[in-house]
Amino acid sequence: MHRSGAWRSLLTPGWIVGHLLAISVVVSFSQFGTWQLRRHEQSVLRNATIEARLDIPATDIAGVLRAAAAEPSALAPMAPHPLEFRRVRVTGRFDAAAEVLRRPVSRDGSPGYHVVTPVVLDDGSAVLVERGWVPQSLDSVPVSAAPPPAGVVTIEGWAFPGETPPTGPLAALAPRDPPDGRLAQVAYVDLERLSAQLPYPLQPLRILQDAGPRPPGDATLPLPPRPPEVALGPHLGYAVQWFGFVLVTLIGYTALLRRRLAEAEEALKGSSAPP
């Protein structure tokens, strides 16, 4: 009798609101955790695609463009761009007079730039190559302290699409490059924008140069770009956190209910005790 009466104490309007709030918290946190698990699974698939591309030997720009065009048009969530992370090889001459500095690029905690220099190909077109990092003090182009090799060179690297400024509600907070005039420093390697100041057409991709290993202690500028990283990201850890919040909520609310039931039973016993 006391037990059933104690349970009725949990059906008051105030407790019903608490039950609904606890249920909504558990459902919401569970959905957040499930969403993070889906993001983790998408990251796993994305990384598998990237690693498969990185394993393919370097080919010329035409081969890279053909491979990108063969990608299915309906891409999975978080799938890399069809051009990204493909190994590419080009032969031509660097045009140091036309290089620009990409900002901001930090290295080991030091601010700086990536030197972006066109390589002019035999067909008269060019491709923009991120050759590596220079410190912030070298802020004018061409960067005389980090010249490209002279003559005809063959370089390899990783292909990426051109960049454009972000759009959407937070776009106003992102850095912007001037819409016209000659640029010496850029926030984005925007192929369309940069083509306006170059005397040759640009290929529809950019290259992050793979300069290969260096001897220990070789600090010749520019410092080579770091290879692309393939990481899963924090989604699995976030999922564990959200499900942990669910568990904490369930344990805490259950303890609260047990204490309320115990208090209600004690109150009922006291009220039914003979005088």
Does residue 219 lie in a domain region? no
Does residue 130 lie in a domain region? yes
Q: What is the pLDDT of residue 270?
A: 64
- Answer yes or no: do 192 and 238 share one domain: no
Question: pTM for this one?
Answer: 0.84
Q: What Å distances lie between residue 153 and 187, 208, 221, CA to CA?
A: 27, 15, 18
pLDDT, one tens digit per residue, over 230-268 is 888 999 999 999 999 999 999 999 999 888 888 777 776
- Answer yes or no: do 20 and 122 share one domain: no
- Answer yes or no: do 91 and 175 share one domain: yes
pLDDT, one tens digit per residue, over 72-104 is 765 677 889 999 999 999 999 999 999 999 999
- Answer yes or no: do 115 and 186 share one domain: yes
pLDDT, one tens digit per residue, over 134-185 is 999 999 999 999 999 999 999 999 999 999 888 877 778 888 899 899 999 9
Closest CA to 134 of 167, 101, 95: 101
Does residue 33 lie in a domain region? yes
Mean pLDDT rounded to a whole number for the chain: 91
- Answer yes or no: do 115 and 170 share one domain: yes
Does residue 47 lie in a domain region? no
pLDDT > 70: percent of the chain: 94
Span 95-121, average pLDDT? 96
Q: Structural domain tally of the chain?
A: 2
- Answer yes or no: do 147 and 252 share one domain: no
Closest CA to 94 of 116, 114, 118: 118
Does residue 267 lie in a domain region? yes
- Answer yes or no: do 93 and 191 share one domain: yes
> Is the dihedral angle over the CA atoms 38, 41, 47, 48 positive or is it negative?
negative
- Answer yes or no: do 192 and 254 share one domain: no
- Answer yes or no: do 167 and 114 share one domain: yes
pLDDT > 90: percent of the chain: 72
Q: Which helix (H) or strand (E) holds 240?
A: helix 235-272
Note whether 147 and 175 are within 8 A (CB). no
- Answer yes or no: do 198 and 245 share one domain: no
Does residue 238 lie in a domain region? yes
Does residue 123 lie in a domain region? yes
Distance of CA 153 to the CA centre of its chain: 32
Domain coverage including residue 33: 2-40+234-272
